Amino acid sequence: MRLDCKHVWPYISDYIDDTVTPEERRAIEEHLEHCEICSAILDSVHNILVLTADDRIFRLPLGYSERMHERIGAELAKAAPGDSPE
């Protein structure tokens, strides 16, 4: 299986998640070995995912946890748990 750049791109996401088949993986890696463009695209996507996962992206509001537990505490004092989320 030989791949053009265009055909590698749809696999980048699955490749990162490791949900490609062994055969696809081989073909992708063979392509990446000699294609700097696709390697750089893969690296950039991967890098963006690492940055996204960082706790500094979408920080919790200050005092979030305290307010959460205060609210829960008030509910716990009020009623026993029930069978319906509504």
Partner from Zn ion, other proteins, none contacting 14, C-beta within 5 to 8 A by type = other proteins
Backbone angles phi, psi at 73, to 5 degrees: -55, -45
Nearer to other proteins, 19 or 30 (CB): 19
35 touches Zn ion (CB under 5 A): yes
Tokens of 86: 């509504």
Do residues 5 and 39 lie in contact, with contact meaning Cβ atoms separated by under 8 Å?
no
* Beta-strand runs (E) in 1-86: none
Residues found near other proteins in the complex (CB under 8 A): 9-10, 12-14, 16-17, 19, 36-37, 39-41, 43-45, 47-54, 56-58, 60-61, 64-65, 67-69, 71-73, 75-76, 79-86
CA distance 86 to 2: 54
Q: How far is the CB of 65 from Zn ion (least distance, A)?
A: 46
